[in-house]
A and B are shown apart, each in its own frame.
Chain A
Amino acid sequence: MSRLRNPWGRPRFLALITAGYILWSVVPVLLAIAFAFNNGRSRTTWQGFSFRWFTGETGSVLHDPALRDALGHTLLLAVICVAVATPLGVALALGLQRWRGRLSGSVNTLMLLPLVTPEIVMGIALLLLFLQVFGGIGLGTDAQAIGQITFTLSYVVVIVRGRLVSIGPEFEEAAADLGAPRRDQFFRVLLPLLAPAIVASAAVAFATSIDDFVVTQYLSSDASTTTVSMLLYSSARGAPTPALNAIATVNLAITLLTLVFAFLVYRRFAGRDEATSVATLEV
């Protein structure tokens, strides 16, 4: 260990850069959260602590219709997204894992493409699809949900497949050797082993949906389809009150709680290392 000394001088220098980076990446957000609790209209001058921008009578997340509806619509989309993308993605992961054909390689690439396509390209592709081909669906909630499902699907597949690879075929083979019918091999052996990955992928899909901006914005129709991210985009430069910070804080709390829950479930059933690898999967 001691021989692996840092060639650029003392590691203390590297430690300093790392500490500086972490402060730089986190402190601005912490300040934005702090000002959500400001007892005044300013987002730059501290005027005391209060919950008025969360639950106050006027202009708060709870009572301002625009803010409350944006939060509600964000959650609605996230629920639809999880409900459709999880089963669809689990099935695709299982199918891709077992399907050894000439086409499976192409399907695999097709599944990975949404992860690397710039969101504006996907947003425009879907916008033109719904305007020119599926005029019946049109823009709005349905289109937004379909757009989000299209790329969260890939996250679900990648997470579930990772777990399938680490489980291996041995458990099912053992069950088969012991005479279990194929249906039991799947429902009583494989599915329970897969459960933590399914929970984790649902959580990632939920968090990704909540924080999505570009595709959701491109497929929105009127004010009733505004999400929290869209609200942040349209109001950040205006003359907003700390209520904007408050709704961003609520949004963040929901995302982080979802992920912490999924991480704990995954670690409980699948081990710490795998859980960490799922947490870094976003890249």
Chain B
Amino acid sequence: MGSRWIWRLVALPGVVWLSVFFLVAFYAILAVAFGNQDTLSQPVPHWNPLDWNVGYVLDMLDNFFSGGPFWTVSLRTVEFVAIAVALSLLIGYPVAYFTARHAGGWKGAILLALILPLWINYLMRMLAWINLLAPEGIGSDLLHQLGIEDVFLSIGLLDEPGGWLNGQPITVILALLYGYLPFFILPLFVAIDRIDRRQIDAARDLGASPASAFLRVTLPLSVPGILAGSVLIALPMFGDYYTADLVSASTQTNMIGNQIDEFMRQGSEKVTGAALTLLLSAFLLVLMFYYLRTTRRAGTTAQTT
């Protein structure tokens, strides 16, 4: 059978492509983060791991653990992401549950409406809110007239009337929620939709009330979907810089992504930026492999059933 090596040969170009533009590229972050910089503060990468200079990464860790600026930004990032994910669950679960279980003849249409935002340019969706929340925008008018603005002002979530886009943490969190919620709902919908109705019937036949059938059958069975959805939206949120840039444009709401973006793209502190990227990647790698593992398991069970 000469066919074995044929398939390896067919896969080869793709494997080479990913090796160069993903693996080697990622190694470039390591080489720069563990390298040096010249007098013009341009990076001098160290490609040989034996020559690695851990100074920049250690500086970064020191700054982080001694409560320096990176600690503040990291803490803020975790806070923003955690609140946005929690709100996603609060809104997303009922929507996914309703669509999977109670939508009836509307299921197809609702599903289409849930998929649609995934294919609208993220920046266009942010532009839409910038239009709405601008000082004379329809949205800020409406929030003013409904008295919501006053509520936010009185509890200190908004600094000044009409100032939604002036460095307000709440605006950044809600923008993140708006931006990523569609990506949370779909895997959750798939998870709830896959639950075998006979399991719930069995629980009901054995005397469980609807509430306890939900709490003891449906909810536990949808936990993998909740976790997968949460990781799926948390990962890009941790690297997000454009949302905060667009709806706040203030360093007061800087997330870790903004910090990295300032080092790498806008400024010229590429070595420090690479060190920070490396630490962020190390943190996110755990989440990434968790997600790949759970989805692969879900994929294989789906194939066997």
Contact = CB atoms under 8 A, between A and B. Distances in A.
A236 B246 CA distance: 7
Interface stretch (B58-66, B109-117, B151-159): B109-117
Given A3-B201, A119-B239, A213-B242, A280 B190 contact: yes
Interface in A173-217: 182, 207, 210-211, 213-214, 217
A279 interface: yes
Given A107-B15, A149-B17, A244 B127 contact: yes
A62 interface: no
Given A18-B99, A25-B182, A121-B281, A245 B127 contact: yes
Contacts of B15: 92, 107, 110
Contact of B21 (A5, A150, A245): A150
Contacts of B167: none
Interface of B: 3-4, 7-15, 17-19, 21-26, 28-29, 31-32, 43, 45, 91, 94-95, 97-99, 101-103, 110-111, 113-132, 134, 136-139, 165, 178, 181-183, 186-187, 190, 197, 200-201, 204, 209-211, 213-215, 232, 235-236, 238-242, 245-246, 249, 257, 260-261, 264-265, 270, 273-274, 277, 280-281, 284, 288, 291-292, 303
A18 B95 contact: yes
B10 A95 contact: yes
Given A252-B121, A256-B119, A245 B17 contact: no
Contacts of B94: 8, 14, 17-18
Nearest to A182: B3
Nearest to B17: A88
A88 B13 contact: yes
Contacts of A11: 98, 102
Contacts, number: 281
A116 B11 contact: no
A48 interface: no
Contacts of A91: 10-11, 13-14
B255 to A, nearest CB: 11
B252 to A, nearest CB: 16
Given A32-B127, A132-B32, A280-B190, A94 B110 contact: no
A36 B205 CA distance: 56
Closest 8 CB pairs of A and B: A95-B11, A92-B14, A118-B239, A125-B25, A32-B128, A120-B239, A98-B7, A7-B211
Given A18-B95, A43-B134, A99-B8, A283 B186 contact: yes
A132 B34 CA distance: 14
A120 B22 contact: no
B17 A153 contact: yes
B200 A4 contact: yes
A145 B123 CA distance: 20
B246 to A, nearest CB: 6
12 contacts: A21-B95, A22-B114, A26-B116, A29-B120, A29-B128, A44-B131, A45-B136, A91-B14, A107-B11, A124-B264, A128-B45, A279-B115
A229 B91 contact: no
Contact of A120 (B24, B43, B95, B260): B260
Interface string A75-99: 0000000000000110110111111
Contacts of B4: 99
Nearest to A162: B299
A111 B18 contact: yes
Contacts of A256: 119
Nearest to A27: B128
Contacts of B26: 121, 125
Given A29-B120, A213-B123, A283-B186, A7 B131 contact: no
Given A25-B178, A31-B138, A211-B122, A127 B264 contact: yes
Given A26-B116, A128-B28, 15 more contacts: A3-B204, A7-B210, A11-B98, A18-B94, A28-B132, A91-B13, A95-B8, A110-B23, A113-B288, A114-B22, A120-B241, A121-B26, A128-B43, A153-B18, A213-B122
Contacts of B125: 28-29
Contacts of A124: 29, 260, 264, 273-274, 277
Interface in A124-139: 124-129, 131-133
Given A28-B125, A44-B131, A128 B235 contact: no
B124 A252 contact: yes
